[in-house]
Amino acid sequence: MHKPAPEEEVTSLHDLSATDLIAGYRAKQFSPSEVLEEVIAHVAAWEPHIKALYLFDPDGARAAARASTERWQKGEPVGTLDGVPVTIKDNIATKGQPIPLGAASVKLAAAGKDAPPAARLREAGAIIFSKTTMPDYGMLSSGLSSFHPLTRNPWDLSKNPGGSSAGAGAAAAAGYGPLHLGTDIGGSVRLPACWCGLVALKPSLGRIPIDPPYVGRVAGPMTRTVDDAALMMCVLAKPDRRDGMSLPADSTIPWKALDKSPRKLRIGLMLDAGAGQPLESEVREVAVNAAKAFESAGAVVTEVGGILTREMLDGLDHFWRARLWDDLSKLSPEERAKTLPYIHKWAEAGAKLSGVDVVRGFNATMAIRAAAAKLFYELDYMISPVSPVVNFPAEFAAPINDPDRPFEHICYTVPWNMSENPALSINGGYDAKGFPIGVQIIGRRFDDLGVLGMAKAFEGLRGPQRPWPTPPKT
């Protein structure tokens, strides 16, 4: 575990929130170029240890920062995020750059255009200085990849940052600027946020247009503060016709209006997901303490049972195995052999499933959706753990590390992808060694703003936060 920075130390520019950066630019206290140089220097100190980045482009970023600096000097920012450093996950297309999907088996080809989330960030003036790492095809909650180097957790280099938005989580925790963009189909922004001490929102399906769209797949902000996540939503939630599953554009959502009282709200506390790994005691304690904090603020908290069954979880497993094997089966044997062995073994079993098995697996998504709707009939929000475990080794593909039991750790997160409910991870406390433990806040479908508001209220209710980790001395 690395020594935290002294609490009395003045906050460095790379550690400032995006909202503070924008205020500083406006007041001419510092410039985008000055901020970027601090981020680049910080990357140099951390990156040899955590390997969070892909296609790091300091020279291109410097040119963009100079242009932003000139705009701010004239008082003419181009958009909401002008001059703010941002990273984007490997699998979100950025024009002119390849999309390896974390897999050595993927043929590299330059993307013809920015995907919707990348386009919105660029239009808003954000400085996209790097992509971030992910595991093969995004099918692991891990920093392990056949294409990228092993990504490690800044809080403890022997531990995993989680995934599949592994590099985004590690980069945010290490202080590579304030804003990071990930994707989530079963927990892939929330799990890294849980294990890296961050805020990450999995929005309602379609709230942030994405290309290619898929069942349960969303893009989401990964930040250190709720305000920064809301600031990103101001930009990311704008419409894009490439996503046929996107929600109707709604410019009336006041993303920055996060003043929300928990008083008299009906909140469920889910400590048993219904399937998966047993809940570790320190994780349980953090979730219970979060519920008590909301109760002290006037909420009515009731413990509720999990909605996931063994049949549902196995169904999702079958469907995803078959889906990925369909992709891998189209590769040559030589290309397929480049896939991470864990992923190859897991997906290969999909070839033995019948069509009925796969359809039954897909139908689990609708069963989960129905169960979630019933649960929220009498609840406004729900609290749960994000992960059942505090952490796991950096070298593992998953907490259990067994391709025959791949999804035992996502039982608190994956239901809300299938049901399309917004769900957010926020740091709720720490284990005995100071490792962060996340709490999940889930809302009704389309109530993304309410979930952010509840998270903002929790920021004021939770206990004091530990300083962010500092780079190891070399």
CB 229 within 8 A of CB 426: no
Where do we find the tokens 């917004």?
A: 422
Cα 319 from Cα 218, distance rounded (Å): 18
pLDDT-above-70 percentage for the chain = 98
CB 104 within 8 A of CB 98: no
Phi first, then psi: give them for residue 205, nearest 5 degrees: -55, 130
Nearest Cα residue to 177 out of 185, 168, 186: 168
Cα 369 from Cα 417, distance rounded (Å): 9
Helix, strand, coil percentages (3-state) for the chain, rounded to 5, are 35, 15, 50
Phi first, then psi: give them for residue 447, nearest 5 degrees: -90, 50
Return the pLDDT at 427: 98
Contacts of 115 (CB under 8 A, 6+ apart): 92, 93, 94, 210, 211
Q: What is the DSSP letter of 289?
A: H
**Average pLDDT score over residue span 83-109:** 98
Residue-wise pLDDT for 385-443, tens only, equals 999 999 999 999 999 999 999 999 999 999 999 999 999 999 999 999 999 999 999 99
Q: How confident is the model at residue 2 (pLDDT cuts 50, 70, 90)?
A: very low
**Average pLDDT score over residue span 241-259:** 94
**Average pLDDT score over residue span 276-280:** 97
> What is Dmax (Cα atoms) for the chain?
64
Return the pLDDT at 9: 53
Cα 413 from Cα 187, distance rounded (Å): 5
Return the pLDDT at 8: 38
Cα 169 from Cα 161, distance rounded (Å): 6
**Average pLDDT score over residue span 112-133:** 98
Q: Give the three-class secondary structure for 67.
A: helix
Contacts of 423 (CB under 8 A, 6+ apart): 190, 201, 202, 413, 416, 440, 441, 442, 443, 451
pLDDT-above-90 percentage for the chain = 96
**Average pLDDT score over residue span 40-57:** 98
Nearest Cα residue to 47 out of 149, 158, 193, 159: 149
CB 90 within 8 A of CB 134: yes
Q: How confident is the model at residue 473 (pLDDT cuts 50, 70, 90)?
A: confident
CB 177 within 8 A of CB 39: yes
Return the pLDDT at 11: 80
Q: How many other β-carbons are positioned within 10 Å of the β-carbon of residue 1?
A: 12
Residue-wise pLDDT for 238-248, tens only, equals 999 999 999 99
Decide the pairing of beta strands 423-430 and 300-304: unpaired
Q: State both tokens at 64.
A: 């963009």
Task: Mark out the alpha helices in 297-413 (DSSP H runs).
Answer: 310-328, 333-336, 341-348, 355-375
Q: How many other β-carbons are positioned within 10 Å of the β-carbon of residue 202?
A: 35
- Whether the per-residue pLDDT at 3 is higher than 80: the answer is no
Domains of the chain (ranges; CATH) run 15-462 (3.90.1300.10)
Nearest Cα residue to 102 out of 160, 65, 162, 144: 144
Q: How confident is the model at residue 116 (pLDDT cuts 50, 70, 90)?
A: very high
**What is the residue-averaged pLDDT of the chain?**
96
Where do we find the tokens 């062995």?
A: 341
Return the pLDDT at 393: 98
> Full-prediction pTM beyond 0.85?
yes
